[in-house]
Amino acid sequence: MATVKFDEASRIYPGNDKPSVDRLNIDIADGEFLVLVGPSGCGKSTSLRMLAGLEEVNDGKIWIGDRDVTNLSPKDRDVAMVFQNYALYPHMTVADNMGFALKIAGVEKSEIRKRVEEAAKILDLEPYLERKPKALSGGQRQRVAMGRAIVRSPQVFLMDEPLSNLDAKLRVQTRTQIASLQRRLGVTTVYVTHDQIEAMTMGDRVAVLKDGILQQCDTPRHMYDRPNNVFVAGFIGSPAMNLLEVKVVDGGVRLGNGTYPVGRDHLKEASGDSVTMGVRPEDLTLTSAGQGIPVVVDVVEELGADAYIYGTASDAKQHQDVDESGADLPERPFIARVDGRRPPQKGETVYLAPKEGHVHMFDSESGKRLGD
């Protein structure tokens, strides 16, 4: 087991002028489960591969424990890429399927047996060790494959979108299994996904990347409650946070016909006369006509206890998202969570106001968080 440190680590592909990973700094604690997440092209896989030794580090360093591994070959780093291959060999017992790679590495027979038994215990495979893979269920086979990585007892597990080829149901199941297994093993793990829900449910900490730059590295809770910038605010959370461009006025910001009170401290650093205000769908309440933000309901999604309304905030200017090339993305709907027993109807205009103290303010130009 070991800590992992990205120290100003950069990767520039030949022929590119912009780095794919730009001066990445992350300190990963011993035994921590860190998830790298972000949209495609953000540099998350490249970062993982730099740690694995598959991508060169053009600048900066990478440490595993107190070893500088920046220039070590993949097999000398003592890391295991999990799930990249899970072929099972039909004539070999479950125990041999789990332990054969140790034999190749020249580990003693008794030591192999010991490690296989320990892994089998953790994976609930003890009764099956002498059986052939054919006799196992699908889930058990997958655990045998996992066992292959565990018995190597590497310092770090690396997982690159391991669930991407599973169907939705199995993905949720396996996600829970991996997370709980990692906690039982206590092996430092770096996990890559494009799915923010996967990231938030699995990671001890989540690192959000965009355009090769680390946006924020935090616990899921803290990241949700206090996103560092507009990108993280819009990326983390499902349904997504509403982001509005609002005018700064005396005592707060202009919202609909009224003023939403915001402390001076929050707004004094703003670079323009408007700011980006973020409100999560669950932090909005229905209010009476003329107050709050008028929203025309387009879709009502009923989930039983709650309902989500998706609508158009005609009066308010929505924050404009852009794709990797800087082109405008389609406008997001305005989303609010309401009581599932009396949801508004499609076509209706509702008035929504943020709950006191539940808004996030961002600078409209830099996107950075303002105040607390």
Partner 1 sequence: MALEITAVRPDPALLDLPWALPLEHWPEEVLAALPRGISRHVVRFVRLSHRVLAVKEIKGDIAVREYHLLRNLGRLDLPCVEPFAVVRGRLDRAGEPLDACLVTRHLQFSLPYRALFSQTLRPGTAKRLIDALAVLLVRLHLAGFWWGDVSLSNTLFRRDAGAFSAYLVDAETGELHQRLTDGQREHDLDIARVNIAGELMDLEAGGLLEDSGDPVETSNRIVTRYGELWEELTALERFEGGDRWRVDARIRRLNELGFDVGELAISTDLDGTQIQIQPKVVDAGHHSRRLLRLTGLDVEENQARRLLNDLDSYRASQDRQNDDEELVAHDWLTSVYEPVTRAVPRELHGKLEPAEVFHEVLEHRWYLSERAGHDVPIEDAIADYVRTVLPGKPDEAAVLGVDTVEMPVVAMFPDGGAGP
Q: Does an H or E element contain 143, and which? A: helix 138-150
Q: Does 195 bind partner 1 (CB under 8 A)?
A: no
Q: Measured between alpha carbons, how far is 77 from 123 in angstroms, rounded to an integer?
A: 25
Q: Does 87 bind partner 1 (CB under 8 A)?
A: yes
Q: Measured between alpha carbons, how far is 98 from 115 in angstroms, rounded to an integer?
A: 9
Per-residue string for binding with partner 1, 147-166, x by CB under 8 A?
-----------------xx-
Q: Which stretch binds partner 1 (CB under 8 A): 100-108, 264-272, 310-318, 352-360?
A: 100-108
Q: Does 107 bind partner 1 (CB under 8 A)?
A: no
Q: Which stretch binds partner 1 (CB under 8 A): 47-55, 203-211, 290-298, 332-340?
A: 47-55
Closest approach, Cβ 52 to partner 1, in A, equals 7
> Order of strands, edge to edge, in the sheet holding 284-287?
284-287, 349-354, 293-302, 306-312, 334-339
Task: Figure out which of the listed residues 60, 133, 220, 256 binds partner 1, where binding follows CB under 8 A.
Answer: 133
**Is the distance from CB of 95 to CB of 133 less than 8 angstroms?**
no
Q: Find the helix packing angle between 94-104 and 109-122, rounded to 10°.
A: 130
301 CB-contact burial (10 Å; exposed 0-12 / middle 13-18 / buried 19+): middle
Q: Does 91 bind partner 1 (CB under 8 A)?
A: yes
Closest approach, Cβ 85 to partner 1, in A, equals 5
Q: Measured between alpha carbons, how far is 29 from 125 in angstroms, rounded to an integer?
A: 29
167 CB-contact burial (10 Å; exposed 0-12 / middle 13-18 / buried 19+): exposed
Q: Does 85 bind partner 1 (CB under 8 A)?
A: yes
Q: Which stretch binds partner 1 (CB under 8 A): 2-10, 93-101, 243-251, 258-266?
A: 93-101
**Is the distance from CB of 12 to CB of 170 less than 8 angstroms?**
no
Query: Which residues pair with residue 81 across a beta bridge?
Result: 158
Q: Measured between alpha carbons, how far is 48 from 152 in angstroms, rounded to an integer?
A: 19
Closest approach, Cβ 46 to partner 1, in A, equals 11
Bridge-based pairing state of the strands 258-261 and 349-354: unpaired
Q: Does 90 bind partner 1 (CB under 8 A)?
A: yes
Q: Does 53 bind partner 1 (CB under 8 A)?
A: yes
Q: Which stretch binds partner 1 (CB under 8 A): 68-76, 271-279, 282-290, 292-300?
A: 68-76
Closest approach, Cβ 144 to partner 1, in A, equals 11
**Is the distance from CB of 266 to CB of 371 less than 8 angstroms?**
yes
Nearest CB to partner 1, comparing residues 110 and 165: 165
DSSP 262: -
Q: Does 56 bind partner 1 (CB under 8 A)?
A: yes
Query: Which residues pair with residue 279 across a beta bridge?
Result: 242
Per-residue string for binding with partner 1, 5-34, x by CB under 8 A?
--------xxx-------------------
Residues contributing to the site for partner 1 (CB under 8 A): 13-15, 52-56, 73-75, 84-93, 96, 100-101, 103-104, 133-134, 141, 164-165, 167
